[in-house]
Amino acid sequence: MIDFHYQINPGRIIFGAGKLAQAKAEAEALGMRRVLVLSTPQQRPLAEDLAARLGDIAVGIYDQAVMHVPVETVADVMGVARKFEVDGCAAIGGGSTIGLAKAIALETDLPILAIPTTYAGSEMTPVWGLTRDGLKTTGRDTRVLPKTVIYDPELTLELPDFISGPSGMNAIAHCVEGLYSQSQNPVTSLMAEEGIRALAQSLPVVVRTPGDIEARAQALYGAWLAGTVLGTVGMAIHHKLCHTLGGSFNLPHAEVHTVVIPQATAFNQAHAPKAMAAIGRALGVKAEDAAPALFDLALSLGAPVALKDIGMKESDLEKAAGIATTNPYYNPRPVIRDDVLALLHQAYDGIRPS
Ligand code: NAD
């Protein structure tokens, strides 16, 4: 029987090629008059372009966003924000840059205009993360949810294939877990299935022909759906494992998701038949082939499929299984340490699930 609660996150979405041109109007609509533009060092030129478009309402650029939002970076950017008396942030970049804007919002309540350039999905979630002494803490707070998001596929044309593939698989992982989430509901399940379909169809084109704007738009549309799912329903064993492997073993975020999602799907195969049917429909395979199809998709993108290839040590697998099974998230299949260790061994060696 249908039985759910569905909390819709507020937010305004502007989607389409060339929509960056609306950034100033959107910032002003949020009441921003003194905007701090945020980016990574690598995306400084894009931040400068955005600042030029914002014109007189851009008061500065902070280009030191890095992965996992270290508290030292937050202290630094807060100093800049105070100096310029900013009244809002425009974050242009991936999850790292948007994460930095969220850290500012958490301390100050300042509104965020997010302009994502990867497929990670942070712009659609009220989840923040902060890293202190190498330990990442995360939490949920609606104050960090961007007020407006501009999705402009033109900004993703330069995203290299080796980032596009894993980043897209990261988005697919949000959809997969959304489908067997404890808090799943009919609307997010529709979004999740469509998200997998859009990403699985577009990503092979994106990595082959990075300049294909149609495929880029399709992938970004999938990423928006995936981010919405991630921001609306709870995640399960896959995300717990990825947080463990990224947080405690410093493995790269999107690549970890890429390696683990086929294995986590196989792990839950027999315990989430409706989800597997939806993943299968989205990938054009039978429900029982959902996990191998995700593995094949990652391979076809030239993305990693083995933890041993992205910096994991075999001797750390036991420790990782221990951390991931302490305070586990809800999961359709009971989370038992030895089963999770077996999953990690499969992921370590990059064995195709069957
Ligand atoms: P990222 O933001 O670190 O970006 C990866 C690299 O790609 C960076 O060097 C960046 O400068 C570059 N880049 C980004 N877009 C580009 C483009 N269009 N063209 C060329 N280069 C580009 O990586 P990510 O995977 O987007 O984000 C990962 C981080 O986000 C992690 O810290 C993760 O924990 C966090 N995250 C948080 C949430 C959440 O809900 N809070 C969700 C997803 C990810």
Determine the Cα–Cα distance for residues 13 and 219; give it in Å rounded to an integer: 16
CA of 234 to the centre of ligand 1 (A): 21
3-state secondary structure of 114: strand
> Phi, psi (5° rounding) for residue 185?
-140, 165
CA of 119 to the centre of ligand 1 (A): 8
Co-location of 144 and 166 in the same domain: no
Number of domains into which the chain is organized: 2
Q: Is 67 contained in some domain?
A: yes
Determine the Cα–Cα distance for residues 89 and 36; give it in Å rounded to an integer: 5
* pTM tops 0.95: yes
Q: What is the pLDDT of residue 247?
A: 85
ipTM surpassing 0.95: yes
Q: What is the pLDDT of residue 2?
A: 86
- Neighbour tally for 49: CB within 10 Å: 16
Q: What is the pLDDT of residue 86?
A: 98
Strand partners of residue 12: 148
Structural domain span for residue 191? 161-349
Co-location of 289 and 307 in the same domain: yes
Co-location of 71 and 182 in the same domain: no
Q: What is the pLDDT of residue 327?
A: 86
Q: Is 4 contained in some domain?
A: no
Strand partners of residue 92: 115
Q: Which residues fall within 8 angstroms of residue 131, CB to CB, at 6 or more apart?
A: 68, 69, 70, 71, 137
Please tell me if the CB atom of residue 148 comes closer than 6 angstroms to any atom of ligand 1.
no
Closest CA to ligand 1's atom 28: 95
Co-location of 50 and 194 in the same domain: no
Co-location of 201 and 286 in the same domain: yes
Determine the Cα–Cα distance for residues 331 and 265; give it in Å rounded to an integer: 11
Contact indicator for 280, 293 with CB cutoff of 8 Å: yes
Residue spans of beta strands (DSSP E) within 8-123: 12-15, 35-38, 58-62, 88-93, 112-116
Please tell me if the CB atom of residue 159 comes closer than 6 angstroms to any atom of ligand 1.
yes
- What percentage of the chain's residues is helix, strand, coil (to nearest 5)? 60, 10, 30
CA of 271 to the centre of ligand 1 (A): 32
Determine the Cα–Cα distance for residues 152 and 137; give it in Å rounded to an integer: 30
Last residue of a domain, one of 156, 184, 208: 156
> Phi, psi (5° rounding) for residue 64?
-110, 25
We report the CATH number of the domain holding residue 48 as 3.40.50.1970
Co-location of 127 and 169 in the same domain: no
We report the CATH number of the domain holding residue 246 as 1.20.1090.10
Contact indicator for 198, 145 with CB cutoff of 8 Å: no
CA of 143 to the centre of ligand 1 (A): 21
Please tell me if the CB atom of residue 158 comes closer than 6 angstroms to any atom of ligand 1.
yes
Q: Is 331 contained in some domain?
A: yes
Co-location of 109 and 239 in the same domain: no
Write out the chain's pLDDT in tens, 354 residues.
888 888 888 799 999 999 999 999 999 999 999 999 999 999 999 999 999 999 999 999 999 999 999 999 999 999 999 999 999 999 999 999 999 999 999 999 999 999 999 999 999 999 999 998 877 888 999 999 999 999 999 999 999 999 999 999 999 999 999 999 999 999 999 999 999 999 999 999 999 999 999 999 999 999 999 999 999 999 999 999 999 999 889 899 999 999 999 999 999 999 999 999 999 999 999 999 999 999 999 999 999 999 999 999 999 999 999 999 998 899 999 999 999 999 999 999 999 998
Q: Is 88 contained in some domain?
A: yes
Please tell me if the CB atom of residue 68 comes closer than 6 angstroms to any atom of ligand 1.
yes
Q: Which residues fall within 8 angstroms of residue 300, CB to CB, at 6 or more apart?
A: 204
Buried/exposed code over 85-117 (b: 16+ C-beta within 10 A; e: otherwise): ebbbbbbbbbbbbbbbbbbbbbebebbbbbbbb
Co-location of 65 and 125 in the same domain: yes
Co-location of 169 and 260 in the same domain: yes
Contact indicator for 77, 100 with CB cutoff of 8 Å: yes
3-state secondary structure of 62: strand
Co-location of 207 and 270 in the same domain: yes
Please tell me if the CB atom of residue 163 comes closer than 6 angstroms to any atom of ligand 1.
yes
3-state secondary structure of 53: helix
Q: Is 319 contained in some domain?
A: yes
Determine the Cα–Cα distance for residues 240 and 310; give it in Å rounded to an integer: 18
Q: What is the pLDDT of residue 342?
A: 98
Tokens of 111: 């509104």
Tokens of 292: 């191998």
Q: What is the pLDDT of residue 9?
A: 85
Q: Is 260 contained in some domain?
A: yes
Co-location of 172 and 300 in the same domain: yes
Q: What is the pLDDT of residue 7?
A: 85
Q: Is 354 contained in some domain?
A: no
Last residue of a domain, one of 129, 156, 183: 156
Q: Is 120 contained in some domain?
A: yes
Please tell me if the CB atom of residue 265 comes closer than 6 angstroms to any atom of ligand 1.
no
Q: At what angle do helices 186-208 and 290-300 cross, to 10 degrees?
A: 30
Last residue of a domain, one of 123, 156, 189: 156
Co-location of 179 and 220 in the same domain: yes
